Amino acid sequence: MVVGLGHGSTAILAVRRIAQLLRDGHLVDILGVPCSLQVEEEARRLGIPLTTLEEHPVVDLTIDGADEVDPKLDLIKGGGGALLREKIVAQASQREMIVVDESKLSPALGTRWALPVEVTPFGWRSQQSYIQSLGASVVLRESSDGAPFRTDQGNLILDCSFGPISEPIRLATKLSQRAGVVEHGLFLGLATDVIVATDQAIRHLKRGKSHDCD
């Protein structure tokens, strides 16, 4: 089984659990496809056998987190900076399982989280101006030392605050058509399952069913 290994504080818990199950013999014949260099390093340290999309272009299951989830199970991702690789793996996955706590549920994408947009360093200010023309407040993401944050591909991330996004498909199209925009954090129609942890229970939401997000 080929498993996508998501990036972020929630997904890394799944990576560690997979490693434990492999060590205990409860899982066998697992190959992981990491969604970031950081996850790749952690998976190797934990002894999880790894592969690539070149060797296995179809992923059976990916386990990942999200920054925001709407009632249709569409997502904003990219808070950890790995949105490009995460989307490549998600689009190659037969099943995309997202694990979040209930604070990530939202009535509309953009209500609680800025939209990350990965852009090339060349001409990034023109992308900032373009996205601002679409109605967003745009900030260049910085690392802890104050330098511009760099993705695994050496690109920059613009955090774009739109407020509630009424037409995410239309916005995704406008962003994707712009030269210099490498990828955006709107993950539309990709999540098949969302696992929501609350203080009282675990909820399993599935695409195609009606869900209400507070």
CA atoms of 64 and 99, how far apart (whole Å): 6
Domains, the chain, with CATH or none: 2-106+188-206 (3.40.50.1360), 115-184 (3.30.70.260)
Residue with the bigger pLDDT between 63 and 208: it is 63
CB 98 within 8 A of CB 75: yes
Tokens of 92: 């190659």
SS3 105: strand
pLDDT tens for 109-160 read: 999 999 999 999 999 999 999 999 999 999 999 999 999 999 999 999 999 9
Annotated catalytic, 86?
A: yes
Active-site pick, 40, 86, 118, 183? 86
CA dihedral 68, 69, 75, 76 (to 10 degrees): -10
Q: What's the full length of the chain, in residues?
A: 214
User: pLDDT category, 199, cuts 50, 70, 90?
Assistant: confident
**Residue 83 reports pLDDT greater than 90:** yes
CA atoms of 13 and 39, how far apart (whole Å): 11
